A and B are shown apart, each in its own frame.
Chain A
Amino acid sequence: MNDKLKTLARGIVDVSPLMIPVFPFGIIYGVIGMELGIGPYMTIGLSIIIFGGASQIVLLQLFSGGASSLVILSSVGAVNSRHLLYGAVLSEYLSTLKLTWKIILSYVLVDQAFAVSNDYFTKNKNKENKHYHLLGAGFTCWTIWQISTILGIILGSVVPEELGLSFTISLTFLALLINDFRKLKNIIVMMVSGIVATIGYNTIPFQAYIIVAALSALLAATLLTLINLKKK
């Protein structure tokens, strides 16, 4: 096996354990897509065109609540804005690549692929062809996401609505925050976001409560960070 293939395989192996929660998440997404009635083609279309689980579910939820296109678009942008940070971190390792490579790797730069490949890049700074790691990790995520979406679409037409599977949207996002539960500052930021969103749900027009809440919470995070720096 040559060096490129080895690195590619390493990426696939490294990201595989992280696929365990992604698989049911994809199924839940597919089921919700069918429950909200956007049909199988759009449900899988979102998975291929957007390829970002959290933002796809936000899109579905806002759409079912009757939000305008502009709000949906800006909310998807807000939820995915965390990728700006991933790109900024990885640019150090990928800046010398050709444009085509940058485009392909950007398409598959999801949370899990970022997590394992960033770790690999940090440990193999000077290795040639290290970007094959992200290619392997990213397309593993992509493949799992598409398969689980299709399974969800199939299950979605047989799962009864009384099961309340739309509640799993909240649960899934809650589960993605489990590492924040232990830090007081993060709990404060989460409470600000949640309370502003709950109050704003009825009072802020165009369903813009997600963005308003997120910005309020980031303001709180900024203040908390600055106070903390002063103490030191």
Chain B
Amino acid sequence: MHWSLIIYCGVITFLTRFSMIFLLKKDVFNEKTKKILSFVPAAIFPAIIFPPILLDNTGSLDLENNPKILAAMFAIIVGYLSKNIIATIFAGLISYWFLIFVYYQ
């Protein structure tokens, strides 16, 4: 990786934060647009979450005996019930360790 790529990424990120503060004088988005923009995290994050869980190293679907799927489901249940970010991450990680180090051994 080149430092130049990191700097470009930094500039892009800065511009996403700065541009609206710099350009807008007051609120210009209507309610409908705001509603749609509120879905942005739900639209992006699963695209990052799903492939590494469902696909194996060769890129083909791995649905049988896949500890990541079970651990992710457990994390979802804990997240749904607790609404706690840290509890969700640790529930997933600990159940994953249990599956790979104890259950599948």
Contact = CB atoms under 8 A, between A and B. Distances in A.
Given A102-B21, A177-B42, A177-B45, A38 B96 contact: no
B96 A175 contact: no
B48 to A, nearest CB: 5
The binding surface of chain A is classed by DSSP as helix
Interface in B27-61: 27-29, 32, 34-55, 59-61
Interface residues of A, number: 91
Interface string A170-198: 11111111111110011001111111111
A78 B86 contact: no
A75 B75 CA distance: 26
Given A176-B41, A214-B44, A88 B9 contact: no
A218 to B, nearest CB: 5
Given A82-B41, A189-B42, A214-B47, A49 B28 contact: no
Contacts of B21: 87, 90-91, 94-95, 102, 105-106, 109
A167 B93 contact: yes
A173 B19 contact: no
Interface in B1-32: 1-3, 5-10, 12-14, 16-29, 32
B22 A201 contact: no
B42 A180 contact: yes
Given A174-B92, A176-B41, A181-B79, A221 B16 contact: no
24 contacts: A45-B6, A46-B6, A61-B48, A72-B5, A79-B44, A81-B40, A82-B40, A85-B34, A91-B21, A107-B17, A164-B97, A167-B68, A170-B48, A173-B48, A179-B83, A186-B42, A190-B43, A194-B46, A195-B50, A198-B50, A198-B51, A202-B60, A209-B51, A226-B32
